[in-house]
Chains A and B, each alone.
Chain A
Amino acid sequence: MRQIDPDFLALPLRRLADAALQRARDLGVEHAAFRLERVRAETLRLFDAGLEGSMDADDLGFAVRVIKDGTWGFASGIELTPEAAARAAEEAVRVAAVSAPINREPIELSPEPVYSDVTWVSAYDVDPFDVPLRDKVALLSEWSSGMLGAVDHVSASLMQVKEQKFYADTAGTVTTQQRVRVHPVLTAMKTDGDRFDDMRTLAPPVGRGYEYLTGTGWDFPAELAEIPDLLAEKLKAPSVEAGAYDLVVDPSNLWLTIHESIGHATELDRALGYEAAYAGTSFATFDKLGSLHYGSPVMNITGDRTAEHGLATVGWDDEGVAGQSFDIVKDGTLVGYQLDRRMALMKGFGRSNGCAFADSPGHVPIQRMANVSLRPAEGGPSTDELISRVERGIYVLGDKSWSIDMQRYNFQFTGQRFYRVENGRLAGQLRDVAYQATTTDFWRSMEAVGGRQTYVLGGAFNCGKGQPGQVAPVSHGTPSALFRGVRILNTVQEGGK
Chain B
Amino acid sequence: MSTPQETVERALALSEADDCIVIVDEGSTANLRFAGNTLTTNGVARSSQLTVISVAGQGVGVVSRAAVRPDQLADVVAAADAAARDAQPSDDARPLIEGTSLDGWDREVEPTSIDIFRDFAPALGESFAAAETSGRKLYGFAEHIMTSTFVGSSTGLRLRHDQPTGRLELNAKSADMSRSAWTGVATRDFADVDVAALDASLAQRLEWSKRRVDLEAGRYETILPPTAVADLMIYLYWTAGARDAADGRTVFSRTGGGTRVGDRLSPLPVRLYSDPAYPGIECSPFVVAHASSREQSVFDNGARLGATDWIADGTLRNLLQTRHSAELTGLAATPQIDNLIMTGPEGGRSLEEMIASTERGLLLTCLWYIREVDPQTLLLTGLTRDGVYLVENGEVVGEVNNFRFNESPVDLLGRVAEVGASAQTLPREWNDYFTRTVMPAMRVPDFNMSTVSQAN
Contact = CB atoms under 8 A, between A and B. Distances in A.
Contact of A403 (B88, B170, B376, B404): B404
A55 B383 contact: no
Contacts, number: 265
Interface stretch (B43-51, B156-164, B391-399): B43-51
Given A95-B114, A401-B371, A405-B453, A102 B32 contact: yes
Contacts of A50: 88, 91
A402 B371 CA distance: 6
Nearest to A59: B66
A278 B140 CA distance: 8
A404 B402 CA distance: 12
A43 B249 CA distance: 23
Interface in A197-227: 198
B310 interface: no
B41 A410 contact: no
A110 interface: no
A72 B42 contact: yes
B86 interface: yes
B291 A401 contact: no
The bracket for how many chain B residues form the interface is: 35 or more
B38 A103 contact: yes
A494 B298 CA distance: 39
Given A407-B454, A495-B379, A47 B66 contact: no
A77 B46 contact: yes
A99 B42 contact: yes
B455 A401 contact: no
A132 B83 CA distance: 9
Contacts of A280: 368, 455
B374 A491 contact: yes
A495 B381 contact: no
Contacts of B298: 53
Given A191-B248, A402-B371, A491-B406, A102 B39 contact: yes
A423 B210 CA distance: 51
Nearest to B450: A494
Contact of A196 (B49, B65, B177, B376): B376
A194 interface: yes
Interface stretch (A290-298, A317-325, A361-369): A361-369
A105 B369 contact: no
Contact of A95 (B44, B62, B66): B44
A396 to B, nearest CB: 15
B453 A410 contact: yes
Contacts of A278: 141, 169
A101 interface: yes
Nearest to B142: A467
B143 interface: yes
Contacts of B90: 51
A96 B1 CA distance: 28
A427 to B, nearest CB: 24
Nearest to B53: A55
Interface in A475-497: 487, 489, 491-492, 494-497
Given A406-B385, A436-B451, A189 B247 contact: yes
Given A52-B293, A56-B62, A277-B141, A101 B125 contact: yes
A94 B66 contact: no
Interface string A38-82: 000001010100111111111111010000000111111111100
Interface in B42-99: 42-49, 51, 62-67, 79, 83, 86-88, 90-91
A458 to B, nearest CB: 18
A283 B454 contact: yes
A273 interface: yes
Interface in B143-185: 143, 169-171, 173, 177, 180, 182
Interface string A464-478: 100111000000000
Nearest to B385: A406
B27 to A, nearest CB: 8
A61 B41 contact: no
B290 interface: yes
Contacts of A407: 454-456
A274 interface: yes
Interface string B358-384: 000000000011111110110101110
Interface stretch (B116-124, B277-285, B344-352): B116-124
Contact of A98 (B67, B117, B173, B256): B117
Contact of B34 (A45, A102, A405, A494): A102
Contacts of A277: 35, 139-141, 169-171, 182
A80 B46 CA distance: 13
A267 interface: no
Contacts of A178: none
A409 B451 CA distance: 12
Contacts of A366: 41
Given A404-B369, A494-B448, A105 B67 contact: no
B266 interface: no
Interface of A: 43, 45, 47, 50-61, 63, 71-80, 91, 94-96, 98-99, 101-105, 132-134, 137, 152-153, 189, 191, 194, 196, 198, 273-278, 280-281, 283, 361-364, 366, 401-410, 412, 414, 432, 434, 436, 438, 464, 467-469, 487, 489, 491-492, 494-497
